Amino acid sequence: MKRFPMFTLLMLFVSLAARLWHLEFQSLWWDEGVSIYLSGAGLRALTIDKDFSVDLHPPGYHLGLALWRDVFGPGVFADRLLSVFGGVLTVVLTYAFTRMVCRWSSWSDKRVELNPGSSDRDRAAGLQAAPIIAALFAAISPIDVFYSQETRMYPFLPVLGLLSLIATIRLLRSGRRVAWVIWILVNLAGWYVYYYLALLTVGESLGLLLVAFGVFGNGRGRLAWSTWLGANLALGVGYLPWLAMIARGAIGSSLALPPDTETHP
């Protein structure tokens, strides 16, 4: 097992190399150009004065890209390097998330020590190897490598999703208020990057509510439904400014390309 850390570093190197390979091979395409244009439009143009006919996405990624370009400068390689970072971070978080799930399984090290049968030892070895295998799949995933070479927000969707799942597991373990605050902030950040990440939040929230009421799991007593309600209200309040902007500027507007594409609530 001592070889695992070295293998993990090697895997991260492979994931980085795969995403840097031919990073500038293809020129920027339309959506990448829109990302770069919006990153230079300024905070007001991305929020209060947002033109939804050009882009419908929330402002999170474009604001992050703007900061990235301020540090590393403009250029195809520098702009796509942010997505490379997101792709490699996905590998790290995949390892961390899988490790948390395996450690939280019923086949704990204590059970193996108390009942050291061969099947238990094999199960324990499998649980220790699972994070490495999961991270390896993420490192060489063709679709993740593909999107890690585009100046778009998509490489950060698994990053934010994994952070949300990790925050949920920590919340189930402790039930502390600080865990709820982290869960709120992570999910809110996801909503400000991509709308559909809210579907993950809804699934997590329903699961947490069922645990709070003791429908499944042993979270009753650690998770209070009143705290759950307050956390979800805080999410709604945190996203309310952007919902107001959508109601004002997006509903009934049409995208620039194609011209006949209308947006609907």
Using the Cα atoms of residue 42, residue 46, residue 51 and residue 57 in order, give the sign of their dihedral.
Answer: positive
Does residue 161 contact residue 42 with C-beta atoms inside 8 Å?
A: no
Give the end-to-end CA distance of the chain in Å, rounded to a whole number: 52
pLDDT in tens, 88-124: 999 999 999 999 999 876 544 454 444 555 566 677 7
C-alpha atoms less than 13 angstroms from C-alpha of 76 in its C-beta half-sphere: 10
Bigger pLDDT: 129 vs 120: 129
Please state, for a pLDDT cut of 70, what percent of the chain lies above it. 83
Does residue 39 contact residue 65 with C-beta atoms inside 8 Å?
A: yes
* Amino acid letter, 135: A
- Name residue 136's beta-bridge partners: none
Does residue 55 contact residue 41 with C-beta atoms inside 8 Å?
A: no
pTM recorded for the entire structure: 0.86
pLDDT computed for residue 113 by the predictor: 47
pLDDT computed for residue 1 by the predictor: 44
pLDDT in tens, 17-69: 999 999 988 888 999 999 999 999 999 999 998 988 888 999 999 999 999 99
pLDDT in tens, 228-247: 999 999 999 999 999 999 98
Does 10 have pLDDT greater than 90? no
Please state, for a pLDDT cut of 90, what percent of the chain lies above it. 63
Q: Which of 217-221, 237-241, 247-251 has the highest mean pLDDT?
A: 237-241
Distance of alpha carbon 171 from alpha carbon 124, whole angstroms: 25
pLDDT in tens, 168-185: 999 998 889 999 999 999
Torsion of CA 229, 232, 236, 239, to 10 degrees: 160
